[in-house]
């Protein structure tokens, strides 16, 4: 597959899942996803168009956020940083 074709395919692809880093909080995941535990069991997310995944590690309902981050005053901000291009082939 040529590099140009790969670039075209990547640019043409529309994301089906959106993950938003919430300020000082969880990852908000929107879209059709499958969430699998360490044993390969799948969470039933039927009827949930979006979920919040714990980013602080303090939730008692991990992998889901239960709001503990706010009560504990957990702080973390994240923004994209430039990444080095990866050579193909
Ligand atoms: S991010 Fe909310 S409890 Fe961890």
- Measured between alpha carbons, how far is 59 from 24 in angstroms, rounded to an integer? 14
pTM: 0.76
- Beta sheet of 50-53, edge-to-edge order: 17-21, 27-31, 50-53
Domain boundaries, the chain: 15-72
Domain 15-72 indexed as CATH 3.30.300: no
Is the CB–ligand 1 distance for residue 25 below 6 Å? yes
Task: Tell me the two tokens of residue 16.
Answer: 């089906």
Please, is 63 exposed, middle or buried when counting C-beta atoms within 10 Å of its C-beta (0-12, 13-18, 19+)? middle
* Mean pLDDT over the full length of the chain: 90
Which of 21, 26, 72 has most ligand 1 atoms within 8 Å of its beta carbon, as the pocket-test mutant? 26
pLDDT, tens digit, for every residue of 31-60?
Answer: 999 999 999 999 999 999 999 999 999 999
The Å distance, Cα 21 to ligand 1 centre, comes to 11
Q: Note the pLDDT of residue 50.
A: 96
């Amino acid at each position: 597959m040529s590099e140009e074709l790969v670039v075209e395919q990547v640019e043409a692809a529309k994301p089906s899942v959106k993950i938003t880093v919430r300020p000082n909080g969880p990852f908000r995941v929107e879209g059709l996803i499958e969430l699998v535990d360490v044993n390969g069991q799948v969470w039933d997310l039927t009827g949930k168009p979006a979920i919040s995944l714990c980013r602080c590690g303090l939730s008692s309902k991990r992998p889901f956020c239960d709001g503990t981050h706010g009560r504990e005053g957990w702080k973390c901000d994240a923004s994209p940083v430039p990444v080095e291009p990866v050579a193909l082939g």
